[in-house]
Amino acid sequence: MSDRVTDHPARGYLIFAASLVFLPVMDAIAKLLSTRLPVMEIVWARHIVYAAAIVPFATWRRGWRGLVPRHPLWQLARGLCMCLASGCFFMAVSRMPVADAMAIFLSYPAILLPMTAVILGERPTRRQWAMVVCGFIGALFVVRPTLHGLADGAIFAVGSAVLYPMSMLATRRLADEATPLITTALSAVIGSLLYSAVVPSVFTMPRPEDLWLLLAVGLIAAVGHFGIVAAHRYAQSSQLAPLGYLEIVGAVVAGLLMFGDVPTLPTDIGIVLIVASGLAATWPARTRPGNAPGDKP
């Protein structure tokens, strides 16, 4: 893929939206497979196929030397956070409806904002803090903690929501030093190596039909994340950010069609609060005179 950014936001919107609606199909297939195979084996297959699909694209122009990171510790940190986040999320969907797990995961802006304030020294606006509180309340509607604690599926979903913002902080640190495709490929390789060390202890021989589903999980991950990267070649992150919550739509539809999961009223309320808070927090502010869209004021 060319590194040149072109100004075709409508094309970027379409690719980004399609990718986000498509990705929850992967989660639903993983949930189906978890009834027959260990979750760690499913996550391992996801990373192996994903790496095999995306590494050739990442090395197309720069060769294998392009995968040698300038800052290996930051790439390692990002890769570990990303692969552990995906592992936690697959553990979550194996124990709870896909839409519920996705709704909890999409509360990650409520975790990211305090992280950026403490670690990066950024100064979030009052509106952003208000939306964080709104998103946190929405997450509580979905999680519904009791005096006995959280359900184990919800615990894993929360773990994924914590790990993902940590990977975003590492991504921001690497933004000027590696293309998104190279960074994504390195994370896929790191995940493959990590889970390859774990999977022998839990490996179960898949049935022939399961092999196709495992392949589908990895290919959907590759196509979906490649689409997200491609969308950023046509539109700015600030333009795409408000569309990020479309993933919950795909999760609801996939869960309904494959498992008959119908979100409860508290879950519906939580989803609405989470989506509304995310849209309000990420919707681009009005561009000031002299600033290009997406530029910092």
- For residues 127-135, give the mean pLDDT: 76
**With 60 as the cut, is the pLDDT of residue 198 above it?**
yes
Where does the pLDDT of residue 6 fall: very low under 50, low under 70, confident under 90, or very high at 90 and above? Answer: low
**With 50 as the cut, is the pLDDT of residue 297 above it?**
no
**With 60 as the cut, is the pLDDT of residue 258 above it?**
yes
Where does the pLDDT of residue 63 fall: very low under 50, low under 70, confident under 90, or very high at 90 and above? Answer: confident
Q: For residue 149, report the phi and psi dihedrals to the nearest 5 degrees.
A: 100, -160
Q: For residue 69, report the phi and psi dihedrals to the nearest 5 degrees.
A: -75, 145
Whole-Å CA distances, 166 to 116, 150, 204: 10, 22, 32
Task: Tell me, yes or no, if the pTM score tops 0.75.
Answer: yes
> Which is more confidently placed, 107 or 62?
107
In the chain, where are the structural domains located?
A: 9-282
**With 90 as the cut, is the pLDDT of residue 250 above it?**
no
Q: For the chain, what is the mean pLDDT?
A: 81
Check residue 176 and give its pLDDT.
Answer: 66
> Which is more confidently placed, 178 or 285?
178
**With 50 as the cut, is the pLDDT of residue 288 above it?**
no
Check residue 207 and give its pLDDT.
Answer: 93
**With 90 as the cut, is the pLDDT of residue 109 above it?**
no
Rounded CA gap, 113 and 284, in Å? 16
Element (H or E) spanning 73, and its range? helix 72-93
- For residues 204-229, give the mean pLDDT: 91
- For residues 182-189, give the mean pLDDT: 88
Check residue 242 and give its pLDDT.
Answer: 67
CB atoms within 10 A of CB 255: 25
Can you read off the two tokens belonging to residue 41? 């084996």
Check residue 44 and give its pLDDT.
Answer: 96
Check residue 160 and give its pLDDT.
Answer: 94
> Which is more confidently placed, 5 or 136?
136
Q: Please count the residues of the chain.
A: 297
**With 90 as the cut, is the pLDDT of residue 142 above it?**
no
Can you read off the two tokens belonging to residue 6? 């072109």
